[in-house]
Amino acid sequence: MTGRLAAWTIELSQFYIEYKPRTAINAQVLSDFVAECQFQAKTQSFDENHLRPWLLFSDGSSTADSAGAGIILISPGGFKIQQALKFEFSAINNVAEYEALIAGLKLAMNLEAEIIDIFGDSQLVSKQISGEFKAHNEKMAQYLAKAQEILNKFPSWKLSNIDREENQWADHLAKLASSSLPINPNPVYVDVLATPAIDELSINQIQNNSEWRKPFLEYIIDNKLPSEKREARSLMFKARNYYVIGSSLYWRALSEPLLRCLTLEEAHLAMVEVHTRICGEHLGGKNLALKIIRQGLYWPTIRKDCEEYVRKCQACQLHGNVDHRPTTKLNYVLVPCPFFQWGIDIVGPFPKSKNQCQYIVVEVDYATKWVKAKPLSKIREKEMIEFFMEYVVFRFGVPRILVSNNGIVCGGSI
């Protein structure tokens, strides 16, 4: 019995499980705690959340076979409600957008929301509700009247039209609901694959992913050499450090005993066991290779493979120490005070934005590294002067030196 408990202790030691006995609760201590609670502070925070708006994201989707809607409702405290609606009736895309909006408003009313901000990517729905577009179609007019009837029940509301990229998750829910496939009643478990299945055993592709031990075994046992002279000479030179005992190949190190040579599959399994399993310490690449060698195992590219494996370890990336050393040597900038010397440059052209902007003008202070940027549609003297005067001169004064691609301008010339 003692041995079994010791074995379980070793198995569970990696999970840092600690037993804490439950102690009795003194009634007087509990009553004192309740008496000292400041419920007024909680009421104030509730009132603050009560005045903050709820956020509603809605989207509709229509296909040739079915239609659906996606709704995301976020409370002032950050609680998120996600809902996908599948329609059992045929609906065009505009009808689906109105159905999604009305269903989201009804959900917000049931949760007693008073202030609500609505976001949707349908320009027709937002323009009709705001009064910019008229609903000429009879069905659209009915949907408009129904939406306005529900909106009038909210003390305060605001409708904003956003891009489809900003409404992606509601769009995904709508497409999920509008799928023609039947809904699976069984739970679906979602997992994440970090790497493709074909990369699990791709350890540097030693000798084109073939059995790298085979040429050494054939040469040592049967004295068989490759047909090409250069490969044969290289194999004979490398084979001096290899020995065959039984049917296994061993490598002789300078200060280590004979190390058993592993295949690619065995090498990958050894790295997993030593690095991440129950006895793993999540060592660095060099230390991982040394620990595997101390276990009496070897393959030609052990150091390089271990470093590559450690770089792909998710736990090491999340919890490992971050190296804050700079990648390059520090350069000294002789600037006597902040905002004494500025650098200015123009970046672009980029793809045009909504406002037809495709350039960015950037200014950086040499001392504090303060950065200021502004998008521009055209590069003209007027815009450059306005940017420099507004963000540099009016805020920090006239600089002594201004550095650009065209040279250095002194303060007296500015």
Mean pLDDT, the chain, integer: 77
pLDDT at 214: 84
- Rounded CA-CA distance 115/108 in Å is 10
For the chain, what is the HEC assignment? CHHHHHHHHHHHHHHCCCCCCCCCCCHHHHHHHHHHCCHHHHHHHHHHHHHCCEEEEEEEEECCCCEEEEEEEECCCCCEEEEEEEECCCCCHHHHHHHHHHHHHHHHHHCCCCEEEEEECCHHHHHHHHCCCCCCCHHHHHHHHHHHHHHCCCCEEEEEECCHHHHHHHHHHHHHHCCCCCCCCCCCCCCCCCCCHHHCCCCCCCCCCCCCCHHHHHHHHHCCCCCCHHHHHHHHHHHHHEEEECCEEEEECCCCCEEEECCHHHHHHHHHHHHHCCCCCCCCHHHHHHHHHHCCEECCCHHHHHHHHHHCCHHHHHHCCCCCCCCCCCCCCCCCCCCCEEEEEEECCCCCCCCCCCEEEEEEECCCCCEEEEEECCCCHHHHHHHHHHHHHHHHCCCCEEEECCEEEECCCC
Tokens of 78: 């950050």
Going along the chain from its start, the domains and CATH numbers come out as 50-177 (3.30.420.10), 211-319 (1.10.340.70), 341-410 (3.30.420.10)
User: How many whole angstroms separate alpha carbon 290 and alpha carbon 268?
Assistant: 15
- pLDDT tens digits, 4-54: 667 777 677 666 677 666 665 556 666 666 666 654 444 444 455 567 888
User: In whole angstroms, how far apart are CA 3 and each of 6, 9, 279, 400?
Assistant: 5, 10, 19, 79
Question: Using CA of residue 258, residue 259, residue 260, residue 263, what is the dihedral sign?
Answer: negative
Chain centroid offset of residue 170 CA: 19
Report the pLDDT value the prediction gives residue 14, as an integer from 0 to 100.
Answer: 66
pLDDT at 100 over 50: yes
Per the model's pLDDT, the better-predicted residue between 43 and 348 turns out to be: 348
User: Residue 406: how many CB atoms within 10 A of its CB?
Assistant: 7
Structure-block tokens of residue 99 = 């159905």
Q: Tell me the Cα Rg of the chain.
A: 35
pTM here? 0.37
Tell me which residue has tokens 């769009």. 171
Q: Residue 103: exposed, middle, or buried by beta-carbon count in 10 A (0-12, 13-18, 19+)?
A: middle
Q: Is the pLDDT of residue 160 over 80?
A: yes
**Closest to 369 (Cα-Cα) out of 343, 404, 403:** 343
* Pairing of β 156-161 and β 115-120: parallel
Check residues 377 and 48 and name the one with the higher pLDDT: 377
Taking residues 269-279, report their average pLDDT. 82
What is the average per-residue pLDDT within 340-367?
A: 83
- The band of 333, judged by pLDDT with boundaries at 50, 70 and 90, is low
Biggest distance spanned by C-alpha atoms of the chain: 93
Mean pLDDT of 368-389: 83
d(CA 390, CA 373): 12
Compute the distance between CA of residue 172 and CA of residue 84 in angstroms, rounded to an integer: 9
Residue 374 pLDDT > 80: yes
> Which stretch, 36-40, 108-112, 250-254, has highest mean pLDDT?
108-112
Confidence of residue 406 (pLDDT cuts 50, 70, 90): low
Residue 394 identity (one-letter amino acid): F
**Residues with Cβ < 8 Å from 371, sequence gap 6 or more?**
362, 363, 364
CB 276 within 8 A of CB 288: no
Length of the chain in terms of residues written: 414
pLDDT at 32: 66
Strand partners, 189: none
